[in-house]
């Protein structure tokens, strides 16, 4: 996908006021929480067919 294929029509326009309120945060620690995910292959394969 190239930049020309992206559709930004549903995104709000970024205003100078939004940039004025922005905060740059560097060096934030990575999220340490992990989530277990169970994927049922039979359900996944069924969804892929449609």
Domains: count for the chain: 1
Check residue 17 and give its pLDDT: 93
**pLDDT band, very low/low/confident/very high, at 50 (cuts 50, 70, 90):** low
Specify the pLDDT at position 46.
64
Taking only the tens place, the pLDDT of each residue in 4-38 is 888 888 888 889 999 899 888 888 787 788 889 88
6's CB contacts (< 8 A; 6+ apart) are none
Candidates 29, 48, 32; CA nearest to 40 is 48
Q: Which of 24, 22, 2 is nearest to 14 (CA)?
A: 22
* Domain coverage including residue 7: 3-49
């Amino acid at each position: 996908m190239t930049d020309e294929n992206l559709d930004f029509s549903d995104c709000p326009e970024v205003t100078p006021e939004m940039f004025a309120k922005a905060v740059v945060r560097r060096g934030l620690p990575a999220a340490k929480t992990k989530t277990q995910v169970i994927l049922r292959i039979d359900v996944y394969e069924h969804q892929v067919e449609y």
